[in-house]
Amino acid sequence: GMGSEVAWLLEAVDFAARKHKEQRRKDPEGTPYINHPIAVARILAHEAGVTDLVVLQVTPCPACPALPGPRTALPEPRTAPRAPPPQAALLHDTLEDTATTPAELEARFGAAVRRVVEEVTDDKRLPKAERKRLQIERAPACSRRAKLVKLADKLHNLRDLNRCTPQGWSEERVQEYFRWAARVVAGLRGTSAALEGALQRLFEERGVPT
């Protein structure tokens, strides 16, 4: 029911906030990092129409009567769900940027959330240029849920770059980030007209080919 959806959402917000608590964004104000995953989840809800908070079945958790779950590992639904679990958006940078493990995500939020977060996580053992190349190459094969999170993630990062330039970044570096993002987004087409339209306008404003 509605009550448990809200409880789950808060569980993910609280988990992500604690994991990212020492981190800051790259903008000159050093905005707390958690603002970004929250903004990505908000973009999904407000601009992509992703309002379905819980798309997976939950089982009651005996240890915690207020919360359902942890979610059991369910087989993938036969038809692609419209919405990703919003937890995936809130948690999308926990594997990449904090000490969180996939097992920890699965135990708390279930296998589906863990899978989506893994799909949007770069392998930090690889050199940066290789990670960037792999994002372009692997975007088309991502699940619909991961594509939605990736679109909202890129949209928020590009809006952040338009709002203000990170410390130490030249205009050319910002422009290069837009060009790279356009190549990733090209592999995410057919996922959300609203998000793709918003991204398209940002690329056009910069004269970036799409």
Least Cα distance to 85 among 139, 149, 155 occurs for 149
> Smallest gap, in angstroms, from Cβ of residue 117 to ligand NDP?
12
Given the residues 27, 96, 104, 118, the one annotated as active site: 96
Q: Which does 25 bind (CB under 5 to 8 A by kind): ligand NDP, Zn ion, none?
A: ligand NDP
Our answer to whether residue 96 is catalytic in this structure is: yes
Residue with tokens 């970004």: 36
Q: How far is the CB of 136 from ligand NDP (least distance, A)?
A: 11
Q: What is the 3-state secondary structure (H, E, C) of 71-134?
A: CCCCCCCCCCCCCCCHHHHHCCCHHHHCCCCHHHHHHHHCHHHHHHHHHCCCCCCCCHHHHHHH
CB under 5 to 8 A by kind: which of ligand NDP, Zn ion, none does 5 bind? none
Instruction: Give the residue with the Cβ less far from Zn ion, 58 or 132.
Output: 132
Q: Which residue is nearest to Zn ion (CB)?
A: 153
- For the bound state, the minimum distance from the C-beta of residue 79 to Zn ion, rounded and expressed in Å, comes to 28
CA distance 151 to 119: 13
The set of catalytic residues is 96-97
